A = this chain, B = another copy of it.
Amino acid sequence: MAEAAPFERVAIIGLGLIGSSIARAARAGGVAGSIAAYDRDEAVAVRVAALGIADVVAASAADAVEGADLVIVCTPVGVCGAVAAEIGPKLKVGAVLSDVGSVKGAVVRDMGRHVPAHAAFIPAHPIAGTEDSGPDAGFAELFQDRWAILTPLSPADEADVERLRRFWEGMGANVDTMTVEHHDLVFAIVSHVPHLIAYNIVGTAADLEDVTQSEVIKYSASGFRDFTRIAASDPTMWRDIFLNNRDAVLEILGRFTEDLQALQRAIRWGEGDALFNLFSRTRAIRRSIVEQGQDTAAPDFGRRAAPPPPAGER
């Protein structure tokens, strides 16, 4: 890039799928002068060194953030408070502290109080990921054309928000900003409750007496397998998400259950029109998601070799 990197020294705490992808993408995008990495898991730290995706693999979080212009905490949400308590005092004057947590209210609650007045805390959430975990699962293109949401706390330092925006845009992301509260409600419906439902149906299937697990696996192509992908996501990360976005998740879950009971009743009483109307309505949403480039239009997610039919003919 012609312009200077938005941040000279970047520190990444936690090198899982997201943290290791940021290390790779920041270097590829030229948005970090140098990258220091720290992971409390010795095996991960060793692996990160072997992969060579950071300039320095620090021995402690405190060492990693020393002199850093941007510090991004990429640990599970449940421990980000403890991490903030450790690194807060070490943040240099003018440093920007951010995170990648899928919930923002709890992160602000847990990290916020450890941020010194001379540093700026700007929570963030990149909307990207796969069902895989760990430093080997990451890749530089993970954020390409995906959304990265910043939830600045008022009074936010506009200049710092702008630098962080440039940082994420440099990694290929489209940046959006919203309030912490709105973020948590939006993600309860687009992410958290869908994951909970997926985990739940897979669990229900595993517990049936009259249908064997091997049958469930064998015939999963008929719909079930789509749920198993997100039900294979990192258990620790997701436990923390549900414990930390409790209110919004319970609110959306209540609506979901209410709607499901209405469907159940329609099935019991043979109300075909009620079913047909819902099933038609949901099609339009899929179309918009594909049109807006948020998913592939290939039938069956393009799992098959066969070419998708010409859209005009459907």
Contact = CB atoms under 8 A, between A and B. Distances in A.
A132 B189 CA distance: 25
A130 interface: yes
Contacts of A2: none
A269 to B, nearest CB: 10
A151 to B, nearest CB: 13
Contact of A299 (B130, B195, B213, B236): B130
B134 A313 contact: yes
Given A276-B239, A289-B228, A206 B249 contact: no
A201 interface: yes
Q: Could you say how many copies of this chain the assembly holds?
A: 2
Interface string A118-129: 000000000111
A224 B189 contact: yes
B286 A136 contact: no
Contacts of A309: 132, 136-137, 139
A257 interface: yes
17 contacts: A132-B308, A132-B314, A137-B309, A142-B306, A147-B218, A147-B219, A190-B219, A194-B226, A196-B260, A199-B278, A199-B279, A217-B292, A226-B226, A231-B279, A232-B283, A246-B270, A253-B267
Closest 4 CB pairs of A and B: A130-B299, A232-B286, A235-B279, A191-B222
